[in-house]
Amino acid sequence: MIVHQICVLAVVVAIGCEQASSPQPPGTRVGHYVAPSGTAGGDGTSAQPWNLATALAQPAAVQPGDMIWLRGGTYTGAFTSLLRGTATAPIIVRQYPGERATIDGNLLVQGSYTWYWGFEVMSSVPAPQNLMAVNVLGPSTKLINLILHDAGGNGIGDQQVAGTEIYGSIIYNNGRQRVVPGYAHGIYIQNDVGTKVVSDNFLFDNLGVDLHVYGTAALLRNMQFLYNVGINTSQAGMDGPGWVLRTVIDSSMENLLFQGNMIYGNPAGSVLALGPNNPAGHDLTFIDNYVWGGSTEFTRWTNLRVTGNTFAGKTIRLFVNSSSYATAPAYAFDNNSYFASTTRQYIPEFDIWLNEVTQPLLDYSRWQATTGYDQHSTLTTSASGKPSTNQVFVRPNQYEAGRANIVIYNWQQLSAVPVDVSSILRGNDQYEVRNVQDFFGAPVLKGIYQGGTLAIPMTAVTPPVPLGGWPGPTPPPTGPEFNAFVVLRTAP
């Protein structure tokens, strides 16, 4: 078994494998309180909390650097946040520890420099409108460890505003409206100015596509997609591939990074479609990702780097804006690990299109000889086309000490997989481990940590059914072969 302690994210906040402290903005943390029973006439204290609409309108008492605590319960309605912090003293809106705060409706963000942390946004309307769970229209917004599901529209919409970070969230079953063709998506994102970071999120079973980086009249540049987890990718999608990066106009696509993402996808589906229709994108870097599933497509790039990845699946499809191999761009494909099935004609299939005209499929040796790519890569074949060694990824949460994402590819089909969490928990910490596909169900494991590894059960769970039911086939359970978890310290 190979265990990956993914412990450094220098582009956001550098943390080591030792126990990381949660980053806190400078300034005084004055606490205000919101409750479902709160009122506009309250004073924001725990004894006289505000209602949510009042708090999000930023009463005079709320200053940059303050904390707004959401007490447990359900907040029903459409809410607009006008909260404005500063770069050095953001306002934080956070679920109160140990409680479950739910917005049953949607949240529109129009302020700036505000963090939204730890609560749930969903819609219980049987036939919902095309409204996003969270629609980000304000700059320098952070969405942290949220749970976003069953929205009529996108789980998150984040278009031409600067400085967004989407981190550690669980995003599923969004896009339930049936009016707009293709439904809607898990994350729908664009960017122009500054850098946006989408990191450490779980995406699954959204009814459009899980991750839609797309523009018809908007720019797609300066975005980083880091250590996200795709579960059943392209399985439930109604709009083709599971993760899409594409534009349909003469729009700039540059400085795009996919690093360390972990995908367990549909072996018959188009798992990743990374590339524009028109014109060629400027540059894409795709490094250190772990992908199980059907095809991965790289479509017309001027500069393309694909290194250090694991591909266990059917097809690598490369669309090159050229008329011949000789004039094709000098892409960097190398140091990748390929796993493929011996039962297929091509092992694996490398499908190159020149100027949109398909060429004969290449097997691995012809791919290397014809293109010069992957000279230091490896190919492993078997009847199943799957690796034989388990892969375990542990990713400490950069905002909450004692919390981490755990992703397990259980190729050995063990009933429980040992996972070292000594970089996450301390001796005598109370903890629980939750399967992200059943996050509000009973923990799969809990106890008092005594050091060493936890034996995490790999029992299959039934994917959560969207309110209103599935529009197509029910996605299959991923366990015991694959599961993703969150480990949480519940008490020191």
Tell me the pLDDT tens digit for each residue of 291-308: 999 888 888 888 999 999
Q: What is the pTM of this model?
A: 0.93
What amino acid is encoded at 112 in this protein? S
> Cβ atoms within 10 A of the Cβ of 382, count?
13
Using an 8 Å Cβ cutoff, are 489 and 460 in contact?
no
> Each residue of 434-444: b (16+ CB within 10 Å) or e?
bbbbebeeebb
Structure tokens at 486: 């969150």
Residue 359: φ, ψ to 5°: -110, 165
Question: Which positions of the chain have pLDDT values less than 50?
Answer: 7-27
Kind and range of the H or E run holding 282: strand 281-287
pLDDT on residue 250: 55
Assess whether the previous peptide bond of 476 is cis (omega < 30° from 0).
no
Tell me the pLDDT tens digit for each residue of 39-86: 999 999 999 999 999 999 999 999 999 999 999 999 999 999 999 999
Q: Rounded CA gap, 120 and 74, in Å? A: 9
pLDDT on residue 251: 64
Tell me the pLDDT tens digit for each residue of 179-225: 777 778 999 999 988 999 999 999 999 998 999 998 877 788 999 99
Using an 8 Å Cβ cutoff, are 137 and 107 in contact?
no
Q: Rounded CA gap, 127 and 6, in Å? A: 41
pLDDT on residue 240: 61
Place of tokens 């209602």: 51
Q: Rounded CA gap, 181 and 56, in Å? A: 33
Beta partners for 95? Answer: 70
In order, the DSSP letters of 334-364 are: ES-EEEEETTSSSSSEEEEEETTEE---B-H
CA angle 215, 218, 220 (to 5 degrees): 70
